[in-house]
């Protein structure tokens, strides 16, 4: 009963100005409200206005997204080429401080002869560390592998030597040239001597 009352109230609130509806019997009134207040209770003009408003809203939204997308596409076309170029230059930029330090090392070596060999050597050691630090920050690590099993996925065998023991067979005995890799890509295979 309480439920019906609520429905009645809603019904009357929405149709205060419509006397013809009010004249109908109780059963009809309840069933009408159950059919859905929206369709039966608002005037068609209001309904239409609301739908038009919504349509305009969605149209504007669609147009905005389309415009965003068109711009995106336009930019995307040129941005791939530009990104490649930028990445290259950015990488070079990362290594320029190494070059600066090499110049400094050369300047000082030329200036003072070889009398400070130890200090210069220490400096060049630091420059080397600077270089490998940059590589490390870029996610690039060394492929060494001395004493490890030979793995053609990472190693390039350039020489075969006699194994000194059974265990040494098919292992790397010497890294001739250090290799480098990222997490999922080899930049350069390490050149190795393999025992057989």
Partner 1 sequence: MSKIIGIDLGTTNSCVAVIEGGEPIVIPNAEGNRTTPSVVAFSKTGERLVGQVAKRQAITNPDHTIMSIKRDMGSDRKIRIEDKNYSPQEISAMVLTKMKQEAEGYLGETVSQAVITVPAYFSDSQRQATKDAGVIAGLEVMRIINEPTAAALAYGLDKEGNQKILVYDLGGGTFDVSIMEIGDGVFEVLATRGNNRLGGDDFDQRVMDYLADEFKKTEGIDLRMDKMALQRLKEAAEKAKIELSGVLTTNINLPFITADATGPKHLDVTLTRAKFEEMTADLVEKSMAPLREA
Q: Which residues in this chain contact partner 1 in the complex, by CB under 8 A?
A: 63-65, 67-69, 71-72, 74-75, 86, 101, 104-105, 107-108, 112, 115-116, 118-120, 122-124, 126-127, 129-130, 133
Q: Which is nearer to partner 1, 40 or 101 (CB)?
A: 101
Q: What are phi and psi of 143, to 5 degrees?
A: -110, 105
Q: What angle do CA 83, 188, 105 make, to 5 degrees?
A: 80
Q: Which is nearer to partner 1, 67 or 176 (CB)?
A: 67
User: From the CB of 39, what's the least distance to partner 1, in Å?
Assistant: 32
Q: Which is nearer to partner 1, 5 or 81 (CB)?
A: 81
User: From the CB of 144, what's the least distance to partner 1, in Å?
Assistant: 22
Contact 194, 160 (CB under 8 A): yes
Question: Helix or strand or coil: residue 190?
Answer: strand
User: From the CB of 81, what's the least distance to partner 1, in Å?
Assistant: 15
User: From the CB of 84, what's the least distance to partner 1, in Å?
Assistant: 14
Residue length of the chain:
196
The rounded Cα 97 to chain-centroid distance in angstroms is 28
Angle between helices 26-35 and 2-14 (to 10 degrees): 80
How many other C-beta atoms can be found within 10 angstroms of the C-beta atom of residue 136? 11
Count of helix runs (H) and strand runs (E) in the chain: 6, 6
User: From the CB of 132, what's the least distance to partner 1, in Å?
Assistant: 11
Q: What tokens were used for 130? A: 């600077």
Q: Which is nearer to partner 1, 9 or 72 (CB)?
A: 72
Give me the sheet containing 141-143, strands edge to edge.
141-143, 179-181, 186-188
Q: Which is nearer to partner 1, 3 or 137 (CB)?
A: 137
Q: Which is nearer to partner 1, 50 or 74 (CB)?
A: 74
Q: What tokens were used for 21? A: 């509806």
User: From the CB of 75, what's the least distance to partner 1, in Å?
Assistant: 7
């Amino acid at each position: 009963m309480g439920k019906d009352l609520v429905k009645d109230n809603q019904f009357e609130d929405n149709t205060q100005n419509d006397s013809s509806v009010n004249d109908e019997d109780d059963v009809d009134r309840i069933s009408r409200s159950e059919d859905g207040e929206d369709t039966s209770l608002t005037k068609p003009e209001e309904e239409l206005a609301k739908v038009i408003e919504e349509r305009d809203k969605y149209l504007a939204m669609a147009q905005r997204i389309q415009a965003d997308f068109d711009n995106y596409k336009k930019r995307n076309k040129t941005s791939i080429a530009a990104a490649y170029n930028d990445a290259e230059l950015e990488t070079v930029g990362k290594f320029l401080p190494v070059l600066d330090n090499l110049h400094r090392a050369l300047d000082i070596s030329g200036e003072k002869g070889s009398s400070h060999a130890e200090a210069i050597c220490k400096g060049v050691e630091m420059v080397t560390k600077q270089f490998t630090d940059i590589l490390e920050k870029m996610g690039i690590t060394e492929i060494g592998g001395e004493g490890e099993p030979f793995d053609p996925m990472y190693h390039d065998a350039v020489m075969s030597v006699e194994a000194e023991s059974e265990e040494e067979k098919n292992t790397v005995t010497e890294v001739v040239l250090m290799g480098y890799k990222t997490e999922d890509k080899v930049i350069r295979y390490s050149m190795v001597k393999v025992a057989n």
